[in-house]
Structure 1
């Protein structure tokens, strides 16, 4: 269809897209790349452009997959050297593989069997039942009665009124002490009242209706909701994982560029390698998760761990072109940095996510 539209008889003297002057031999505009044709649109033109774009992407996608899977480091080198039309854009490919991975990961992790929370009466009943089953013996002689009395008194059910404190007292406390007191009070008050309105709760507790106090009360609500139903928070956190990885990868690339500071590559070229490596991670573990879903075990992920370790080592050797010993040393250092950063970013993400949950 495009070949018919590009016939000489349909060529114009000016690009219809950008207005650049054209010659008869110009099949495409040298400025914007649009086909030089004044032929009116036909229904077939839409299908032609759709399928030509689809197959063009598919051919690059298949080539990118093949080189990425079987030639570690080569695709990053080719892309940096300017051979870009034959491959999918690294960032676009990274996004595609990330979306597929998280869809599969979300399907495989439904959080079945998670304790969704039990009230104190249920826990007490279970403990009593367990105690009876184990035929636990208690010594009631002598001072043991006093110990038992103290245990009973200490376990006497308290209400939020036992934790009430006046605003004047809170104002005299340090920040951390005041936060601890308010958190404990709000926690017990919410359990008893189930009041989800922070302003109303603060009014009834006769505390200052400040933005910070409202936030602390809301976090007390969230804590109880998460405690009763962890799946809510875990689903929320997993939904943020792509965002976490997008923040984590540029930071990790900074350390990668420092370790290979004497290489010829700049930061963006190191990032290209990181994108391709992470894309391989997503592809490999997507396949592993699918295998584990069908086989009902973790063999796929265990095998993927071994394959990815070998792949990363080969990728570092081919891309940075250094010897075995140097690559092994830097490989170990990079893995230590990777897991340290992962723990730090993970903890920050958990606390940050809870703060805005």
Structure 2
């Protein structure tokens, strides 16, 4: 249960002079809070730490359940039991800030290529036919664990490299920041779309779309935490490639979260996981290609 705020109430509103009743936490006349802040600093410091420690307790409890109990927070939200946990979107925003910061700081080594011609030459030497196609499947998972301009080049390069792409590659730092910013927006668009996918696959349960959206928010928040952990492992162990493990753990987590929230049998959940996962992956590919294209087009 949330901790009630201890108020030092006025008899009259200092802003408009309204005479308060005992139940008034805010002035009905002007809206100002009925709480006296003109007290010794000691009291303000005590209040600050009291509220901060309470929030910290709620945050760590929410984080623990998110990681160790797939689907638990979504179920609690859908049941209306929300006061003891950090709201889903607030949690997502908080985690995503650290997620994109971690990518910018620790997963940016591959964001540098020497020039467009060398990138094109490398692509054509590997597969001459690839120059006229978009990204190959084995490079699609890269945006989850570390973005590179070489990956972006695979999306944009054709037989002739236009001026916009040359400018995009030339301005390495500016292009990297633009791409990361657009990727963050892409993920924010992907969440409601994944909620729509779940809505379609579980429409027979008669759930509101918001319930599926909250599932999507919690799932993506977990994936961000997982990728951050993988990035840190790769920083410590430079020879480690955690891409495969990130994908595998994400799918296992998704399976148990679906099973917990939608209450279907293990077999039925497993059968649905395959088309849900494939639909999500195709959506991710399309959005990522579009995001890179937009980043280059408006560079």
Class of the TM-score when normalised by the shorter of the 2 chains? 0.7 to 0.9
Taking a change above 3 Å as real, the CA distance of residues 20 and 283 of structure 1, as seen in their structure-2 partners, is: farther
SS in 2 for 1:240: helix
Residue 246 of structure 1 aligns with which residue?
A: 188
Structure-1 separation of matches of 2:222 and 2:17: 43
Give ranges in structure 2 of 5+ residues lacking alignment. Answer: 122-159
Correspondence for 1:258 among 176, 192, 200: 200
SS in 2 for 1:68: helix
CA distance in 1 between counterparts of 2:269 and 2:48 reads: 45
Once the 2 structures are TM-superposed, how far is the Cα of residue 108 of structure 1 from its aligned partner? 2.2
Inter-CA distance 310–240: structure 2 relative to 1 (3 Å threshold): same
1:81 aligned residue:
79
For 1:223, which of 157, 165, 179 is the aligned residue?
165
CA contact (8 A) 1:14 1:21 kept: yes
Runs of 4+ in 1 over 4 A off after TM superposition: 13-24, 26-39, 227-232
- Note closer, same or farther for the CA distance 1:354–1:226 as it changes in structure 2 (3 Å cut): closer
Closer, same or farther: CA 66–112 of 1 in aligned 2, 3 Å: closer
1:351 — aligned with what? 293
Separation in 2, partners of 1:280, 1:20: 48
Deviation at 1:29, TM superposition (A): 5.8
Q: 1:47: Cα distance to partner?
A: 2.1
Q: Corresponding residue for 2:142?
A: none
**1:146-185 to 2 correspondence within 5 Å?**
none
Q: TM-score, normalised by structure 2?
A: 0.73
User: Could you tell me which residue of structure 1 aligns to residue 53 of structure 2?
Assistant: 55
Which of 216, 219, 224 pairs up with 1:282?
224
**Could you say which residue in structure 2 is the equivalent of 1:178?**
none
CA contact 2:58–2:85 (8 Å) conserved in 1: yes
Which shifted more, 247-256 or 287-296? 247-256
Query: Equivalent residue for 2:114?
Result: 116
Between the two proteins, the alignment pairs up a number of residues equal to 256
Using the size of structure 1 for normalisation, the TM-score is: 0.62
Per-residue deviation at 1:49? Answer: 3.6
Partner of 1:338: 280
| CA distance in structure 2 between the aligned counterparts of 1:280 and 1:50, rounded to whole angstroms | 29
What CA distance in whole angstroms lies between the structure 2 residues aligned with 1:15 and 1:281? 48
Give RMSD over aligned pairs: 3.5
Query: CA separation of 1:304/1:355 partners in 2, compared to 1, >3 Å: closer, same or farther?
Result: closer
Pair 64,225 (structure 1): closer, same or farther in 2 beyond 3 Å? same
Equivalent positions of 1:122-137 (< 5 A) are: none
Query: What corresponds to 1:156 in structure 2?
Result: none
Residue from 245, 261, 268 that aligns with 2:210: 268
Q: 1:55 to 1:329 in 2, by over 3 A?
A: same
Q: CA deviation at 1:293?
A: 0.6
- Structure of larger gyration radius: 1
**Deviation of residue 270 (structure 1)?**
0.8
